[in-house]
């Protein structure tokens, strides 16, 4: 499913799709974000907030990046160690998967951090505590960087990478990523529009990186038996 979305990556469809997603986010900012934040603040128990905070930790990029670095460096080392055996090609493919994931994170993370710092959106806590809602562009305060959600970007980046490598588990990975993204709203860290655009950046970044630099990801087999001999 992820691999078949490449038709949206041509410049015109991608611009149109991005504008549609931005329009949806703007509509949510005007209609849903504030009521959702107040509703969650009124109804979510302290235990519930803590539970969703724990869930959201699965979206932190640190662990994902460590795994991808180990995969890349380990794959490269084993490739050099086992060459010219057939299995060396499998290790080389693992290294490419790791590098693909790192490149996807680099692109999606850069886009999200740039937007966060430029837009400077107040987090929900400012609305709840001070009644402040909106943007403070170019603010260095971390609590003014709500849009887009970095956890959502991270969760969907790794989910799409894994979906391309293990396509049969696509729905599992995407469901887990969506749960992590939604947890950021339920624990009061983000508004709904934040997680939608963060998720979108993660998905598109993976597809763009694959299209331009790693076209074999998703088509080359991951089973080591295919490389033996």
For 177-218, how does the pLDDT look when each residue is reduced to its tens digit (9 = 90+)?
999 999 999 999 999 999 999 999 999 999 999 999 999 998
Which residues lie below 8 Å from residue 163, measured CB to CB, with a gap of 6+? 1, 2, 169, 170, 173, 174
Query: For residue 220, what pLDDT band results from cuts at 50, 70 and 90?
Result: low
Percentage of the chain with pLDDT > 90?
Answer: 79
What does the pLDDT read at residue 1?
Answer: 63
Task: Look at residues 121, 133, 148 and name the one whose alpha carbon lies nearest to residue 38.
Answer: 133
Position with higher pLDDT, 25 vs 142: 25
Which residues lie below 8 Å from residue 154, measured CB to CB, with a gap of 6+? 59, 60, 61, 64, 105, 108, 109, 202
- 3-state class of 121 per DSSP? strand
Q: What is the dihedral of CA 207, 168, 226, 91, to 10 degrees?
A: 50
What does the pLDDT read at residue 228?
Answer: 61
Average pLDDT, the chain: 92
Residue 74 corresponds to which tokens in the numbers above?
């380990």
Query: For residue 226, what pLDDT band results from cuts at 50, 70 and 90?
Result: low
Domain enclosing residue 93, as ranges:
3-227
Find the mean pLDDT for residues 93-116: 97
Distance CA 175, CA 108 (A): 19
Q: What is the count of structural domains for the chain?
A: 1
Position with higher pLDDT, 37 vs 7: 37
Is the pLDDT confidence value at 229 over 60? no
Question: Which of 73-87, 169-183, 213-227 is the least confident region?
Answer: 213-227
Distance CA 17, CA 197 (A): 12
């Amino acid at each position: 499913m992820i691999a078949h979305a490449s038709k949206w990556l041509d410049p015109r469809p991608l611009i149109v799709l991005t504008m549609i997603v931005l329009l949806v986010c703007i509509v949510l900012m005007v209609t849903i974000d504030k009521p959702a934040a107040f509703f969650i603040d009124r109804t979510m128990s302290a235990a519930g907030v803590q539970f969703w905070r724990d869930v959201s930790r699965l979206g932190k990029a640190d662990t994902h990046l460590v795994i991808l670095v180990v995969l890349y460096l380990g794959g490269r080392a084993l490739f050099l160690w086992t060459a010219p055996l057939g299995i060396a090609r499998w290790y080389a493919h693992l290294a490419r998967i790791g590098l693909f994931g790192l490149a996807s994170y680099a692109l999606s993370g850069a886009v999200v951090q740039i937007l966060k710092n430029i837009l400077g959106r107040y987090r929900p806590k400012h609305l709840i505590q001070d009644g402040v809602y909106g943007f403070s562009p170019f603010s260095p305060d971390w609590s003014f960087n709500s849009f887009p959600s970095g956890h959502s970007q991270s969760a969907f980046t790794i989910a799409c990478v894994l979906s391309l490598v293990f396509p049969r588990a696509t729905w599992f990975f995407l469901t887990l990523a969506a749960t992590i993204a939604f947890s950021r709203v339920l624990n009061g860290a983000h508004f709904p529009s934040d997680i939608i655009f963060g998720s979108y950046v993660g998905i598109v970044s993976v597809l763009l990186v694959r299209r331009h630099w790693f076209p074999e990801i998703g088509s080359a087999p991951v089973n080591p038996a295919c490389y033996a001999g």
